[in-house]
């Protein structure tokens, strides 16, 4: 059985290959019926200074084996932007 860290490393790699964007971080991770759901923050546009990088939060759904079965970009934001956790 894979560890949580193995699962996160695997999904970051899969999402990078699917989208072409660098997986910056994972900000949410939950077990759901039949698999996992997480939010992965992707670097969509690198800028100078780095505080103005454009990132996006992607909601990722995985099956019980850790394979991506779906994803959706839920929001875009600048790296220095304060995020509100409200939906």
Eight-class DSSP state of 40? E
Q: Which residues contact 53 (CB under 8 A, 6 or more apart)?
A: 43, 45, 46, 47, 78, 79
pTM for the predicted model, two decimal places: 0.83
Q: How far, in Å, CA of 11 to CA of 14, rounded? A: 5
Cβ-proximal residues to 72 (8 Å cutoff; 6+ apart), any chain: 58, 59
pLDDT tens digits, one per residue of 27-83: 999 999 999 999 999 999 998 888 888 999 999 999 999 999 999 999 999 888 866
Q: Where are the domains of the chain?
A: 4-78
CA 28 to chain centre: 8
């Amino acid at each position: 059985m894979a560890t949580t860290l193995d699962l996160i490393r695997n999904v970051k790699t899969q999402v990078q290959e699917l989208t072409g964007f660098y997986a910056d971080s994972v900000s949410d991770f939950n077990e759901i019926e039949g698999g996992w759901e997480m939010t992965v923050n992707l670097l969509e546009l690198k800028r100078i200074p780095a505080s103005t990088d454009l990132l996006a939060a992607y909601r990722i759904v995985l099956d019980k084996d850790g394979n991506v079965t779906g994803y959706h970009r839920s929001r875009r934001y600048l790296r220095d932007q304060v995020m509100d956790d409200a939906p």
